[in-house]
Amino acid sequence: MCRHGKGHIYEYVETAIERGLDEIGFAEHIPIPGLHDPDGRMLIGEFPIYLQEIRDAQKKYSEITIRLGIEADFIPRYLDFVAKFLSEYPFDFVIGSVHFIDDWDFSHPDFIEKYHTFGIDETYKAYYNLLAEAAATGLFDVIGHFDQPKKFGHQPTTDLTSEIENALLIIHEKNLVLDVNTAGIRKPVGEIYPSEDILRRAHELGIPVILGSDAHRPEDVGSHFSEAREMLLKIGYERQCAFRNRERMLFPIE
Ligand SMILES: [Zn+2]
Ligand SMILES: [Zn+2]
């Protein structure tokens, strides 16, 4: 229902069934009235359609569990709106994500030249600081695509260990889950979010993980999950999470 995704909910569910998934969670981008983001998200008036379509899909497909989620942006000036919105609907899970540094959507392909005016290192630093702030709010269950500024292949030239460590420590302290997101494989960077090094540190800290394909087309549902599972098992993860009514459940990674 965002303006940059394709296909109907049923097509995503049917792909998930074909690919042998037991469960699929939808996480549309949260509508935020007032935010200038023309192709980023549904309008607030469309939100009831999303709820209804998830409910209809849950009734139609008994062979798979379908969860209602949302990807909520952390944008400081909209925090009160987002907090209220999240409290008003019966989400199974909430992904907290940072896509904006001030007014700049650094994850949008139309605005990538700003990495050079803002500075690549500065982008990463500002991003990780916002991500740490997002985790500290306690509003979210999952932190989405942890190292997203790498999306278009921009590599930092400075050591970001302390920024990354700080964000991970807050994620751990707030008992959040990391999104192991295969969309990065489909982007110019060509690798999973977060990187293997970051996941190793997350594993040492005992931070749980959830698999996500961040599918914006039905054919991307569950894409590269075997690669993601292989990486997680190699690092030492044995279990992955799912959510129901914002409560975490653990399952073996197989
Ligand atoms: Zn999107
Ligand atoms: Zn996102």
> What tens digit of pLDDT does each residue of 78-102 get?
999 999 999 999 999 999 999 999 9
Tell me which ligand sits closest to the C-alpha of residue 148: 2
Short-list 137, 92, 95, 143, CA closest to 246: 92
Residue labelled with tokens 């030239």: 157
Distance between Cα 72 and ligand 2 center (Å): 9
What total number of domains does the chain contain?
1
Write out the residue range of the structural domain in which residue 85 sits.
73-89+97-252
Ligand 1 centroid to Cα of residue 43, in Å, is: 14
CA distance 177 to 237: 13
The closest ligand to the CA of 107 turns out to be 2
Q: Which ligand is nearest to the CA of 4?
A: 1
For ligand 1, the distance from its centroid to the CA atom of residue 41, given in whole angstroms, is 8
pLDDT the model gives residue 254: 86
Residues 6 or more apart from 59 whose CB is under 8 A from it? Answer: none
**What is the rounded CA–CA span in Å between residue 84 and residue 25?**
22
Which CATH number do you get for residue 114?
Answer: 3.20.20.140
In a domain, 175, yes or no: yes
- Nearest alpha-carbon partner for 68 in 26, 5, 13: 26
Distance CA(199)–CA(204), nearest Å, equals 9
**Could you report the average pLDDT of every consecutive run of 10 residues in the chain (254 residues)?**
94 97 97 92 96 98 98 98 98 98 94 96 98 98 98 96 98 98 96 98 98 97 97 98 98 94
Ligand approaching nearest to the C-alpha of 40: 1
Kindly give the distance from the C-alpha atom of residue 109 to the centroid of ligand 2, in angstroms, as a whole number: 13
Q: Which one, of 211, 220, 212, lies nearest residue 250 by Cα?
A: 211
Residue written as tokens 């400081």? 76
In one letter, which amino acid is 26? Answer: F
Does residue 228 fall inside a structural domain?
Answer: yes
Which bound ligand lies closest to the C-alpha atom of 2? 1
- 22 within domain boundaries: no
